[in-house]
Amino acid sequence: MLEYIDLAIIPVFLLILVRITAFFVTMPLFSYRTVPNIFKIGISFFLALIVFTTMNFENIVLDNYIILLIKEAIIGLLIGLVAYIVISAVQIAGGFIDFQMGFAIANVIDPQTGAQSPLLGQYFYIIALLFLLSVNGHYLIIDGIYNSFQFVAIDEYIPIEEGSIIKFVLFTFNKMFIIAFQIAIPIVGCLFLVDIALGMIARTVPQLNVFVVGLPIKIFVSFLVILLFLSLYIILIRTLFTTMFETIHSLMSLFGG
């Protein structure tokens, strides 16, 4: 049986497998602890097999194979990490809101990542993931790692211009914080008005303890504003995913030269 197998294709397949496996280590949804490792390895293997059988990898010269392996791992990790950084804007927005509501002291452990996250940040994050699944956004993320082989060939090194990575990182974080601010501003703005009203009440009615009354009022106003602006959050989450796909495409274009 082995005499019919071209052993020269194994190094090429391993390079493809390393990039895809590294991608599933950091990408949102598939990298969580609740996803079994056997599933991650299995989907990485079969996706690498699909890439290997559907793309043309002829006339490939593999010089410095170890360096190419490291390059493939870095590309896969960065593509998944960029997607995770952009979608983390939801948790950042939740942190802004929790701080104004008084929930900042009560963080919860995210069972998916094992890290602490704000209460409302976790709530918005679950909504974002459910929206991602409902519109088949995870297919687009997988399609991104599939198309990355057209931008960055496995036998080529990454041509990076001076300062391009710094500009890309600044642009990514800038977009992330803008979207986080847009998500948080309705609630934070309303809570700011509540603080002004409580300050005026404290000056006009000194007998009233605003510290006791203010906390439940701010919590009630926050939940009311969330209920009213929930449709707006869906639109912002859609913009967030659009930004995530555009950022992944920009990263692959940067690596492709």
Q: Is the pTM of this model over 0.85?
A: no
Q: How many domains does the chain have?
A: 1
pLDDT digits (tens, 9 = 90+) for 137-161: 788 888 888 888 888 778 777 766 6
User: What pLDDT does residue 113 have?
Assistant: 60
Q: Output the CA–CA distances (angstroms, integers) from residue 19 to 15, 28, 32, 79, 156, in the order listed.
A: 6, 16, 18, 10, 14
User: What pLDDT does residue 160 have?
Assistant: 63
Q: For residue 35, what are the domain limits?
A: 2-256
User: What pLDDT does residue 153 have?
Assistant: 77
* C-beta of residue 188 within 8 angstroms of C-beta of residue 96: yes
User: What pLDDT does residue 4 have?
Assistant: 47
What residues in the chain have per-residue pLDDT under 50? Answer: 1-4
116 strand-pairing partners: 109
**Considering only CA atoms, which of 127, 117, 126 is closest in space to residue 97?**
117
pLDDT digits (tens, 9 = 90+) for 43-72: 888 988 888 888 777 777 777 778 888 888
User: What pLDDT does residue 107 have?
Assistant: 64
